[in-house]
């Protein structure tokens, strides 16, 4: 790598910019001390080749004739911690005992070509932005609100910070998807934030990813969404969020294999991401890979045991395998962990009904109705609950109301197993044609 041709080096979810001496994971800065970073740089200059301990010592401690073994071991361990790597189950750095180290993951070199720097010169702005990402990825209503607060705090110091605008757009998209608020309450805000990000940095991949999500969720325009995501890819982005977004579109277009392939790529790039792990389980469920959905859900819950969205996916997958006791247990847990969120409650009502516990199903549906008097509850969730009770007409009426409200949940109605009882209904087939994304 020549200094006159700076490159970004990518592997898994990580990016290394040698010119700016930065390590990032999915766009988030990872602090690395000087010597561990130099070790990473030397390994990435010769991926797959052995870099001897003597070479590293000569580069890191030049001209010194002292014992370096302990210092070198400490520096390598520090680097492994930054990369979340393990010497026993190494994904990136392989130890050759007594000899040195070898970088074993696939490496991709990308020319920077004017790509904007994502770091901000103001450490307070950076800190607020990173905290916003952290809370957004917790997948809770409270987490989204806290994320909004941090992104706004970053913008209060620099109103042109595009990443914070993009983060706010993502927050409001998630509010609509979770059904916490109505589409009309967040559509303009989400669009305005994504527009502000693009106006500030037109070549920022994250800004195009956010605008694509806005175009899909609120405009139901798959082609416009794809154009923005293709632009993000042209700008050199291989971000997990890009593949995650494309999986969303493929599912709306009812392209199962493509959706699973895209979310699989996102998972490979960031295997510890809670939202990606959940969406992989959810897409497996939507495409009837129920046993795999159960396995994936448990993998995610091993990292975050109280994630209500994943508990819901697990419960619904169990229902499809005939394990009703396990399904009800997980969905009851999801209701507790989410403070009786309408999506979890509707799914519980659905499974109660499917399992023959009609009184409990009606009770959960009554609770859902009571909630709707004090908070926003998407009509789609009522359709899910009614379908579990085999109330076809009421379920269909709820879906028609969902259509009138342009609720984003409806984009995946055609592949939702909870609505299978309606799939042969003429009204449902008409609605499915009406909302299917081209």
- The pLDDT tens digits for 366-421 are 999 999 999 999 999 999 999 999 999 999 999 999 999 999 999 999 999 999 99
pLDDT of residue 119: 55
Cα(59)–Cα(52) distance, integer angstroms: 11
Specify whether the CB–CB gap between 242 and 263 falls below 8 A: no
pLDDT of residue 115: 42
The closest alpha carbon to 287, from 309, 311, 320, belongs to 320
Which residue stretches of 253-391 are H helix? Answer: 256-269, 274-286, 290-303, 308-320, 324-337, 342-355, 358-372, 379-388
pLDDT of residue 7: 64
Specify whether the CB–CB gap between 136 and 174 falls below 8 A: yes
- Predicted TM-score (pTM) of this structure: 0.74
Rg over CA atoms, the chain: 24
pLDDT of residue 63: 65
- The pLDDT tens digits for 242-277 are 999 999 999 999 999 999 999 999 998 888 889 999
pLDDT of residue 116: 38
- Residues near 348 by beta carbon (within 8 Å), at least 6 away in sequence: 315, 328, 331, 332, 334, 335, 364
Which residue stretches of 63-140 are H helix? Answer: 69-83, 123-136
Cα(162)–Cα(183) distance, integer angstroms: 23
pLDDT of residue 64: 57
Exposure class string for 310-330: b at 16+ Cβ within 10 A, else e: bbbbbbbbbbbeebbebbbeb
pLDDT of residue 347: 98
Average pLDDT, the chain: 90
Name the CA dihedral angle for 359, 285, 218, 231, rounded to a multiple of 10 degrees: 170
CB atoms within 10 A of CB 354: 19
pLDDT of residue 110: 63
Specify whether the CB–CB gap between 335 and 351 falls below 8 A: no
Specify whether the CB–CB gap between 388 and 359 falls below 8 A: no
**Residue 369 structure tokens:** 């109705």
**Residue 106 structure tokens:** 């696939």
pLDDT of residue 114: 39
Domains delineated in the chain = 7-111 (1.10.10.10), 116-237 (1.25.40.10)
Residue 239, H or E segment? none
∠ at Cα 173 (350, 279), nearest 5°? Answer: 55
Strand bridging mode 100-103 / 93-96: antiparallel
pLDDT above 90: percentage of residues in the chain: 69
Among 48-52, 59-63, 335-339, 391-395, the minimum mean pLDDT is found in 59-63
- The pLDDT tens digits for 317-364 are 999 999 999 999 999 999 999 999 999 999 999 999 999 999 999 999
pLDDT of residue 237: 60
pLDDT of residue 118: 47
Phi, psi of 147, rounded to the nearest 5 degrees: -60, -45
Specify whether the CB–CB gap between 350 and 362 falls below 8 A: no
- The pLDDT tens digits for 81-127 are 999 888 888 889 999 888 999 999 888 776 544 343 445 767 788 88
The closest alpha carbon to 165, from 120, 121, 216, 225, belongs to 120
Average pLDDT value for residue range 195-202: 95
Specify whether the CB–CB gap between 196 and 165 falls below 8 A: yes
- Residues near 294 by beta carbon (within 8 Å), at least 6 away in sequence: 314, 317, 318, 321
Residue 22 clears pLDDT 80, i.e. is over it: yes
Residue 3 clears pLDDT 50, i.e. is over it: no
Specify whether the CB–CB gap between 365 and 389 falls below 8 A: yes
The closest alpha carbon to 314, from 341, 340, 333, belongs to 333
What is the distance, to the nearest Å, from the Cα of residue 369 to the centroid of all Cα atoms in its chain? 30
Residue 70 clears pLDDT 50, i.e. is over it: yes
């Amino acid at each position: 790598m020549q200094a006159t041709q700076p490159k970004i080096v990518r592997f898994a979810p990580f990016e290394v910019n040698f010119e700016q001496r930065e390590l990032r994971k999915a766009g988030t800065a990872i602090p690395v001390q000087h010597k561990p970073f130099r070790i990473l740089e030397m390994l990435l200059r010769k991926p797959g080749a052995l870099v001897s301990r003597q070479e590293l010592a000569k580069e890191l401690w030049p001209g010194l004739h002292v014992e370096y073994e302990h210092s070198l071991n400490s520096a390598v361990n520090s680097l492994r911690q930054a990369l979340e790597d393990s010497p026993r189950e190494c994904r990136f750095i392989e130890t050759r005992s007594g000899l040195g180290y070898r970088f074993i993951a696939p490496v991709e070199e990308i020319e920077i070509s004017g790509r904007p720097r994502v770091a901000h010169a103001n450490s307070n702005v950076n800190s607020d932005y990173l905290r916003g990402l952290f809370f957004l990825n917790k997948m809770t209503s409270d987490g989204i609100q806290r994320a909004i607060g941090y992104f706004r705090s970053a913008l209060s110091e620099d109103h042109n910070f595009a990443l914070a605008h993009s983060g706010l757009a993502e927050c409001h998209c998630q509010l609509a998807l979770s059904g916490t608020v109505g589409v009309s309450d967040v559509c303009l805000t989400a669009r305005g934030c994504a527009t502000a990000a693009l106006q500030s940095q037109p070549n920022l991949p994250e800004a195009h990813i956010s605008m694509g999500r806005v175009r899909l969720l609120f405009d139901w325009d798959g082609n416009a969404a794809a154009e923005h995501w293709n632009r993000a890819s042209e700008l050199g982005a291989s971000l997990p969020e890009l593949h995650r977004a494309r999986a969303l579109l493929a599912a709306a277009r009812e392209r199962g294999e493509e959706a699973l392939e895209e979310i699989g790529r996102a998972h490979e790039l960031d295997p510890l991401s809670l939202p990606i792990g959940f969406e992989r389980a959810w897409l497996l469920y939507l495409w009837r890979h129920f046993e795999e959905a159960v396995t994936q859900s448990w993998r995610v819950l091993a990292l975050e045991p109280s994630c209500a969205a994943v508990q819901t996916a697990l419960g619904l997958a169990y229902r499809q395998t005939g394990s009703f006791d396990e399904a009800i247990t997980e969905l009851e847990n999801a209701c507790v962990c989410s403070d009786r969120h309408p999506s979890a409650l509707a799914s519980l009502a659905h499974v109660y009904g499917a399992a023959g516990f009609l009184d409990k199903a009606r009770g959960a549906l009554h609770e859902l109705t009571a909630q709707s008097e004090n908070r926003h509850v998407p009509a789609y969730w009522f359709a899910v609950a009614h379908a579990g009770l085999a109330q076809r007409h009421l379920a269909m009426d709820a879906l028609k109301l969902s259509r009138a409200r342009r609720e984003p949940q409806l984009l995946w109605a055609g592949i939702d197993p909870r609505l299978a009882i309606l799939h042969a209904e003429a009204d449902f087939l008409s609605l499915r044609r009406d909302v299917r994304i081209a």
